[in-house]
């Protein structure tokens, strides 16, 4: 059921909280609706984590993001994505409301300073969601949103200018990252901190990684702010994801990891919607696109002899004839196979689905509801950001040698991450063999991948291409890379629809009309999507 912004802000709806009558003694009570009075601080905090499972919207990914980013092929190209354009919006505002209730409860404690770590961690979580809202929609209700208890003035909140919200959120992230401290006097919310399990260095890495991402994103619009952030993080040697542990991937690759949720073993259903989506005809028609295949294989040999990118074996699987055959990106050759169906715990036997002509997403990627993460930002993402920073001299001196080091570290981090994921997940009954050092060397030195910092244009194109490939299962981030750089690979025979932002939900034109009019000029969805977000060139 859709929840409109007006209902959320006017009615003060509280969702995603834990009913907790015994303060911190009842941390693991089932996740459900609660009133503001009965919601606990641990419950509200864990609700902000749990709701991340709803931020991996496969319907929007398939209907819009994969086609317009020239990533995975879909036979109908851009589908009726307007049906799903408000999903993120409708999830964000309950989270914003719960965050503000959390802060209110903290301020009501006898010693609110002892909850600083909880406040900072919640601020980082909310910031990650707010930044993605801005990337999706541009100007949004923010400063006045979710404050209905303060009076009717706030029933219909204004749309804040996106540049000012980016600036505010980035300042919040810095304060949170700098403020976190391993202080025994700070309240520990125990199992309710299921995101990074009270590892404050990991929380600082998460905050700084987000700051670095958005410093690069806004660099051409607000050079002074972006440069100051880069200088603070890199010049100040602030914690960032690096040298990920294969046993603790979640400490350097941040997002919703269902296996971390408590109590253990009860969150299998958290990603049911992902599997349900893949089984639907519209999504089961996702195939490995010719555009992506051309970035992972040097030839069209269906045996796979030309594959040089080891991630191909994790991301995709062969067709019904056990051949590596990509689907044309432009959708000119429809697919009729059904590789994802109920009753299977592994891919269908080769030869059993004759209509399946093209290589598709790996079955285990679709089926894994127990360990598969919904990622926000990864170590690989950070290395590619640093490669661009050093290649361009953004807030630091231009250094093509360091740029090359960071670029190759990004390649290795991405490959290592996905292979470690397959090894750790119990769902992957058929685990791909990790590449050997020789195979990794062949990958990094392949002419399509090898870095040449002396050629700025080539270097920046390769950074963008590999960042785009590394975000194959973060299509919202791939969309940002495509919009910001204009350097990602494109199929010359396919020109997708121009969608620079998502349109506002239809409810806004009814329930918040005056402010919606100011934000849109009264334009409908078809015109709204043409407007560029703040950081686009």
3-state class of 174 per DSSP? helix
Asked whether residue 259 is assigned to any structural domain, the reply reads yes
The count of other CB atoms within 10 Å of the CB of residue 110 is 5
Tokens in use for 60? 């929007």
In terms of Cβ atoms closer than 10 Å to its own Cβ (0-12, 13-18, 19+), residue 449 is: buried
67/498 Cα distance (integer angstroms): 11
Residue 325 lies in a domain: no
- DSSP structure class, residue 500: S
Separation CA 274–CA 256 (nearest Å): 13
Exposed, middle or buried, 235 (CB in 10 Å: 0-12/13-18/19+)? exposed
The CATH number of the domain holding residue 449 is: 1.25.40.390
Establish if 451 belongs to a structural domain: yes
How many Cα atoms sit within 13 Å of 75 on the Cβ side? 14
> Helix H segments across 83-195?
87-107, 116-137, 162-179
Nearest to 400 by CA among 442, 352, 452, 360: 452
Helices 456-470 and 379-392 cross at an angle (nearest 10°) of 170
- C-alpha to C-alpha distance for 389 and 263, rounded to whole angstroms: 41
Q: Compute how many other C-beta atoms are within 10 angstroms of the C-beta atom of residue 40.
A: 25
Within a domain: 460: yes
Domain count across the chain = 1
Which helix (H) or strand (E) is 485 found in, with range?
A: helix 475-485
Q: Which DSSP string corresponds to 264-322? A: TT--GGGGHHHHHHHHSHHHHT-B-BHHHHTTTBSS--TTSTTB--TTHHHHEE--TTS
Instruction: Write out the chain's pLDDT in tens, 537 residues.
Output: 333 333 333 333 344 333 232 233 333 333 344 467 789 999 999 999 999 988 888 888 888 899 899 998 765 556 788 888 999 999 999 999 999 999 999 999 999 999 999 999 999 999 999 999 999 999 999 999 976 666 666 679 999 999 999 999 999 999 999 999 999 999 999 999 999 999 999 999 999 999 999 999 999 999 999 999 999 999 999 999 999 999 999 999 999 998 888 655 444 566 777 887 788 776 777 899 999 999 999 999 999 999 999 999 999 999 999 999 999 988 888 888 888 887 788 899 999 999 999 999 999 999 998 899 999 999 999 999 999 999 999 999 999 999 999 999 999 999 999 999 999 999 999 999 999 999 999 999 999 999 999 999 999 999 999 999 999 999 999 999 999 999 999 999 988 889 999 999 999 999 999 999 999 999 999 999 999 999 999
Q: Which domain holds residue 420?
A: 5-270+371-485
Helix axes 400-424, 456-470, angle to 10 degrees: 20
Say if 450 falls within a structural domain: yes
Q: Which residues pair with 327 in a beta bridge?
A: 289
Any domain includes 503:
no
Which pTM does this prediction carry?
0.92
Neighbours of 243 (CB within 10 A): 9
Residue keyed to tokens 């390649």: 411
Instruction: Pull the structure tokens for residue 73.
Output: 């092929």
Residues 257-283 have pLDDT tens digits of 988 886 554 445 667 778 877 887 767
SS3 assignment, position 154: helix
Q: Residue 497 domain-assigned?
A: no
405: Cβ contacts below 8 Å, ≥ 6 apart: none
In a domain, 253, yes or no: yes
Q: Are 117 and 181 in contact (CB under 8 A)?
A: yes
What span, in angstroms and rounded, lies between the C-alpha atoms of 319 and 85?
A: 32
Are 475 and 276 in contact, with CB atoms under 8 Å apart?
Answer: no
What is the Cα–Cα distance from 212 to 205, expressed in whole angstroms?
A: 10
């Amino acid at each position: 059921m859709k929840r409109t912004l007006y209902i959320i802000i006017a009615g003060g709806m509280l969702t995603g909280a834990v009913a907790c009558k015994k303060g911190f003694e009842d941390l693991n009570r089932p996740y459900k609706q609660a009133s503001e009075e009965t919601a606990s601080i641990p419950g509200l905090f864990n609700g902000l984590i749990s709701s991340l499972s709803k931020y991996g919207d496969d319907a929007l990914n398939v209907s819009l993001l994969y086609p317009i980013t020239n990533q995975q092929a879909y036979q109908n190209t851009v589908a009726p994505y307007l049906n799903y354009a408000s999903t993120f919006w409708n999830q964000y505002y309950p989270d914003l409301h719960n965050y503000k209730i959390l802060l209110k409860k903290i301020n009501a404690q006898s010693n609110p300073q002892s909850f600083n770590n909880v406040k900072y961690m919640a601020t980082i979580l909310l910031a990650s969601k707010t930044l993605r809202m801005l990337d999706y929609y541009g100007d949004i209700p923010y400063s006045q949103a979710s404050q209905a208890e303060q009076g009717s003035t706030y029933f219909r909140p204004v749309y804040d200018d996106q540049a000012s919200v980016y600036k505010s959120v980035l300042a919040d992230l810095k304060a949170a990252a700098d403020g976190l401290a391993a202080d025994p006097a700070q309240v520990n919310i125990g199992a309710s901190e299921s995101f990074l399990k009270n590892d404050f260095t990991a929380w600082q890495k998460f905050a700084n990684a987000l700051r670095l991402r958005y410093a690069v994103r806004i660099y051409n619009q607000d050079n002074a702010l972006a440069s100051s952030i880069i200088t603070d993080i890199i010049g100040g040697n602030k914690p960032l994801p690096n040298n990920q542990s294969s046993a603790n991937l979640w400490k350097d690759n941040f997002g919703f990891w269902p296996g971390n949720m408590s109590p253990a073993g009860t969150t299998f259903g958290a990603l049911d919607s992902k599997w349900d989506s893949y089984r639907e005809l519209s999504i089961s028609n996702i195939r490995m696109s010719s555009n992506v295949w051309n970035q992972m294989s040097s030839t069209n040999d269906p045996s796979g002899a030309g594959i040089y990118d080891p991630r191909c074996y994790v991301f995709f699987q062969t067709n019904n004839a056990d051949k590596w055959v990509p689907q044309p990106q432009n959708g000119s050759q429809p697919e009729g196979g059904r590789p994802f169906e109920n009753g299977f715990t592994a891919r269908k036997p080769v030869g059993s689905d004759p209509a399946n002509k093209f290589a598709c997403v790996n079955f285990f990627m679709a089926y894994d509801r127990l360990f598969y993460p919904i990622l926000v930002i990864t170590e690989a993402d950070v290395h590619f950001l640093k490669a661009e920073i050093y290649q361009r001299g953004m807030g630091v001196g231009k250094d093509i040698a360091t740029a090359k080091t960071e670029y190759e570290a990004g390649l290795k981090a991405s490959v290592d991450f996905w292979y470690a994921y397959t090894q750790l997940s119990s769902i992957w009954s058929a685990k791909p063999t990790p590449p050997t050092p020789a195979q990794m060397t062949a990958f990094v030195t392949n002419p399509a991948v090898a870095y040449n910092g002396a050629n700025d244009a080539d270097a920046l194109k390769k950074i963008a291409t590999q960042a785009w490939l590394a975000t194959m299962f973060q299509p919202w981030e791939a969309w940002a890379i495509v919009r910001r750089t204009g350097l990602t690979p494109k199929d010359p025979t396919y020109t997708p629809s121009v969608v620079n932002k998502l349109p506002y939900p239809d409810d806004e034109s009814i329930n918040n009309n005056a402010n919606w009019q100011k934000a849109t000029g009264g334009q409908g969805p078809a015109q709204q999507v043409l407007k560029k977000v703040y950081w686009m060139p």
